[in-house]
Amino acid sequence: MRVYAGPAPRPARSILCRPNPSFLKGFSLVVACAVLASGAISPGHAGESAAQTAPAEPQAPAADAKQDDILKIRILMAREIQEDRLPPLSLLDIPPPDDGLAGAQLGIEDNNTTGRFLKQEFLLGAVENANAEALVADVVKKVDEGFPFVVADARPETLLKLADALKDKDALLFNVAAPDEELREENCRVNVKHTAPSRTMLADALAQYLAWKQWRNWLLVVGPTPEDKAFADALKRAATRFGVKIVDERMFEYEPGSRRADGGFEQIQQQIPSFMQGAPDHDVVAVADEGELFGEYFPYRTWISRPVVGTAGLYPTTWHPAVELWGGTQFQNRFQRLAKRQMRPIDYNAWTAVRSVGEAASRTNSSDAKTLIDYMRSDKFDLAAFKGQKLTYRSWNGQLRQPIFIATPKIHVTVSPQPGFLHEFSELDTLGVDRPETKCTAFQ
């Protein structure tokens, strides 16, 4: 038990505001508040905070607060349009045009509801491009125009280009889409945070649950793409860690062909069982198909009656549209009202990125990019994000620690880490590459 008394840890904890109900209707707001608390700040604090806060006028009554006293914090959503990406098998899984962007917008709205009490206004910009070079140029331009926080949905190689283009600026990149381990490991960058979970986090989350269920014999089915192989590698690593045996590994060579056609099930009904024939006994079929091109063919078509897990069937995810745990209902409702659709994992990852900036801004009472970035790197930072416990960033590679839902397409089944998987510092670090194993040196 520790108690510390004395001055509030944050300088401007006391703000007089006259909230205007019209603020609730949009995320561009006008605020009339005045900082009242400066008198209580010790000289040391005042010196520190002077550089980072907007000019505070302790004597000014609320009504006199000027428009330009409002701290403006600009966040950019950068999306790489991946035209070569094949559409998924199920119509239900086709990404909406604002995938991720809507999550960032909700983050801005939530930040602004808080910001109106703190004289902070959050603004969202957006750029998208199918050409990686052009996207990087667009982002650099916007960063130079005053958007220091970039929420990126991009391929791993583009993300690295973005990170390197921004490395001499007070700017921070959030990776909300790429699960690639190398971005957190040998190719980690100190100016990148990952709100998207890594493949090893997802695979470990799934494996812990299957180990808890004692379904320890897996038949692994791997697709032809490098991403499929990478996820299969993460599953194999998880199997070793959690005492699971991979009884057989089969490559599923597949020519996707036309995605939409009248018919097709007749042949698939024959193909999948024959592909699965003669396999050693197993508890589950683990499918690695990140492109969602064939995995959905497996449930209910296997040779023997076994559940399908991995990228199809029971799957690990950062967010699920049916989750109502830990206040999730209100969060889902707010998103539904804003986007007129359900929240997808990239939306959630973008929301946590934007909320991270908002949390840093309200805790530091600053809009200065460096101050916020430093705060997000400090051990003071934590985020409440509807996962039942605080989320923090791993200090050694910038990965967001977070519980992972294990779900069917309809509803969550459980949340990992599972009971009994213990850790010296945080049970969340039983998911993914942990500090002793990391190859990332950029943060040292």
Compare residues 341 and 390 and give the one whose CB is closer to another protein: 390
Interacting residues with another protein (CB under 8 A): 1-5, 7-10, 13-21, 23-24, 36, 40, 110, 113-114, 117-118, 327, 329-330, 333-334, 359, 362-363, 382-384, 388-390, 426-428
Compare residues 18 and 167 and give the one whose CB is closer to another protein: 18
Q: Beta strands 192-194 and 172-175: pairing type?
A: parallel
CB atoms within 10 A of CB 417: 20
User: Nearest distance from residue 346's CB to another protein, in Å?
Assistant: 20
Distance CA(234)–CA(232), nearest Å, equals 5
Compare residues 46 and 165 and give the one whose CB is closer to another protein: 46
Compare residues 116 and 142 and give the one whose CB is closer to another protein: 116
Distance CA(218)–CA(221), nearest Å, equals 9
Residue position matching structure tokens 């812990």: 208
Q: Three-state secondary structure along 178-212?
A: CCCHHHCCCCCCCCEEECCCCHHHHHHHHHHHHHH
CB atoms within 10 A of CB 68: 8
Compare residues 114 and 271 and give the one whose CB is closer to another protein: 114
User: Nearest distance from residue 237's CB to another protein, in Å?
Assistant: 25
Distance CA(45)–CA(15), nearest Å, equals 17
347, 99 in Cβ contact below 8 A? yes
User: Nearest distance from residue 391's CB to another protein, in Å?
Assistant: 9
User: Nearest distance from residue 252's CB to another protein, in Å?
Assistant: 39
User: Nearest distance from residue 181's CB to another protein, in Å?
Assistant: 25
Angle at 421 between CA 298 and CA 434, to 5 degrees: 90
Compare residues 320 and 355 and give the one whose CB is closer to another protein: 355
Among residues 109, 106, 104, the alpha carbon closest in space to that of 78 is found at 104
Q: Is 21 exposed, middle or buried (0-12, 13-18, 19+ CB in 10 A)?
A: exposed
Sheet bearing 315-317, strands edge to edge: 315-317, 404-407, 412-416
User: Nearest distance from residue 151's CB to another protein, in Å?
Assistant: 18
Compare residues 20 and 131 and give the one whose CB is closer to another protein: 20
Compare residues 21 and 43 and give the one whose CB is closer to another protein: 21
Q: Is 152 exposed, middle or buried (0-12, 13-18, 19+ CB in 10 A)?
A: buried
User: Nearest distance from residue 3's CB to another protein, in Å?
Assistant: 5
User: Nearest distance from residue 330's CB to another protein, in Å?
Assistant: 5
User: Nearest distance from residue 33's CB to another protein, in Å?
Assistant: 9
User: Nearest distance from residue 11's CB to another protein, in Å?
Assistant: 10
User: Nearest distance from residue 170's CB to another protein, in Å?
Assistant: 24
172, 369 in Cβ contact below 8 A? yes
User: Nearest distance from residue 73's CB to another protein, in Å?
Assistant: 16
Q: Is 85 exposed, middle or buried (0-12, 13-18, 19+ CB in 10 A)?
A: exposed
Q: Is 84 exposed, middle or buried (0-12, 13-18, 19+ CB in 10 A)?
A: exposed
Compare residues 28 and 329 and give the one whose CB is closer to another protein: 329
Which ranges constitute the DSSP H helices of 289-425? 328-339, 345-364, 369-377
Compare residues 34 and 272 and give the one whose CB is closer to another protein: 34
376, 193 in Cβ contact below 8 A? yes
Compare residues 225 and 362 and give the one whose CB is closer to another protein: 362
Provide the token pair at 3.
């108690």
DSSP 55-78: PP-TT--GGG--GGGSEEEEEEEE
Compare residues 225 and 389 and give the one whose CB is closer to another protein: 389
CA distances from 329 to 20, 350, 351, 403 (A): 26, 18, 15, 17
